[in-house]
Structures are given as structure tokens and as C-alpha cells.
Amino acid sequence: MATFEFTHSWKAAELDRCMRRNVVSGASGLGLRRGVTIADESGRTDTRNIETVKGLRQARKRFQLPTAPATETALLCPYLRRVSEGGQLQITVNGESVPFELAAQRDYWEDAWQRIEVPARLLRQGENEVVFRAVGDSQWSLLIEESRHPDRSEISDDGGITWRSEELGGSDRADGEYVVRLWLDQYANWGEIISDPVDLLAASGEVATTHGGSAVARLDVEWSTPECTGIEFSW
């Protein structure tokens, strides 16, 4: 049986065309993307589907973290507007208050998205809860995305004594997740990159015209990884 051999090397430009998840390319090679967003929704909603936080009516969003954050600061990012003139909103993360002051003037494209710094020490592995409470007569609104799972958004009508995950929003007719996200300034836990197809039979005319034979593919890779990281290859 005749044996044919050829080598294919991926250059930087080819890697840029590869399908990838959580991977970025730079001068030093491929690396994990920095920045991890924890979210239970994708924003498929509109400004008519809102939850109003006022008086005894409080909103709670729960996040599930696979590990404790490996960073000093996180960002809480709710799609949040103030409905009333003036007033304050109290936000607590796992029972501790975090400072929040609505900017007096913002560009229209970021009018409702808030970026609230949260000390990472307040976050923990497993379940974390964020509670929104209006102060005084102020009123605030959160967006709701209609969904059934994972059921981590809740409302209270008695000042936080009891909570429910159904009958959210105006007229208590919504069921879904609040558009509230958590951003962690750390690298993704994993990444994946998939090359373009490599046509072994079309690699040379001699191989392409061979019939009835068999082909054996071998993948040889040279790489380097930072400490406490690893890499896997599959062909």
C-alpha cells in the first residue's frame, strides 16, 4: 500500500477565520477571552414588559456562580430606569448594600443600562441574590424577558417578607427573568477553536486519484500554556 504524506500548518490569518468560543487571538497567539457575563436571559423583550419597584414592592434577582470570583471587582448591570422625579434606590448583594447613584445625564444609547461596582468579596460560589428596594416615594423599573427557566427572578409585595417567581410585572401577568446581569473581570474558564475543514484527499493530485486505499491522519501540535492551565486537541 502506497503511503503519502503532507503537512498543513495554520497561519495567524487562518486562525482568525476559525469558529471560536471564548477565544481571542493576539500577537502572542490564542488566549481565553477576558470578561465573563453571568446572565439568565438574552434581552428578547421590549420596554413595555417592565417591573415597577416602589413602596413595599421589591424585586430580587438570583445568580448561580460555578466558582467564587477570581477578581476584586464585579459589575452589576441591570436595565434600570427611574420612573419618578428624584428619589433613591437601595441595592443589596447577599444582604450588604452597594452604593448606587443614577447619573444626572447619560448618552441615549446607554440611558437604561447601569454599571454598578460590586466588591467581589460579596459574591460566593453557588447562589447569590440581589435585591432592589425603592427609597421613600421613588419608583424604578426593570425589564422582564418572558421565560419559564431558570426561574431566578422574584417579586415581593410585603417588603421582602415573602417572595414569588410568578405574577411579575404590571398587573402581575408576567413570568420570566429580570434583565439584570453580572460581569466578572476575569478570564473565561474554557474556550474552543475549530479549524476550517482540511481536505486530505485533495491535498495532492496523487492522493486524490488513489482509490480503495486507506488514510491515516496524525495531528502534531506545538504549544505553550500558562501555569495552572491546560489544552486538549481532537481530530
Q: Quickly state the pLDDT bin for 231 (edges 50, 70, 90).
A: confident
How many other CB atoms are there within 10 angstroms of residue 54's CB atom?
A: 17
Cβ atoms within 10 Å, residue 163 = 17
What is residue 234's predicted lDDT score, i.e. its pLDDT? 76
Question: Cα(109)–Cα(118) distance, rounded to whole angstroms?
Answer: 23
pLDDT value of residue 205: 47
The string of pLDDT tens digits covering residues 45-55 is 999 999 999 99
User: 143: closest CA among 98, 179, 181?
Assistant: 179
Largest CA distance in the chain: 85
Using an 8 Å Cβ cutoff, are 195 and 23 in contact? no
What CATH topology corresponds to 35-186? Jelly Rolls (2.60.120)
For 174-204, what is each residue's pLDDT tens digit?
999 999 999 999 988 889 988 777 776 665 5
Q: What is the pTM of this model?
A: 0.81
pLDDT in tens, 130-174: 999 999 999 999 999 999 889 999 999 999 999 999 999 988 989
- Judged against a pLDDT cut of 60, whether residue 210 lies above it is answered with no
Mean pLDDT of 23-45: 88
For the chain, give the number of residues: 235
Q: How confident is the model at residue 216 (pLDDT cuts 50, 70, 90)?
A: low
Q: Are 48 and 144 in contact (CB under 8 A)?
A: no
Strand-pair partners of 54:
57, 139
What pLDDT does 120 receive?
Answer: 94
Per-residue pLDDT band for 208 (boundaries 50, 70, 90) equals: very low
Which segments of the chain are extended strands (E)? 19-21, 23-26, 29-32, 34-38, 50-54, 58-65, 73-78, 80-82, 88-93, 96-98, 116-119, 126-135, 139-146, 153-156, 176-178, 180-187, 192-194
How many whole angstroms separate alpha carbon 207 and alpha carbon 217?
13
Average of pLDDT values for 27-42?
Answer: 88
- The whole-number pLDDT of residue 3 equals 59
Show me where the domains of the chain are located: 1-33+188-235, 35-186
Name which of 167, 69, 56 is nearest 120 in CA terms.
69
Place of cell 418572558: 146
- The pLDDT mean for the chain works out to 86
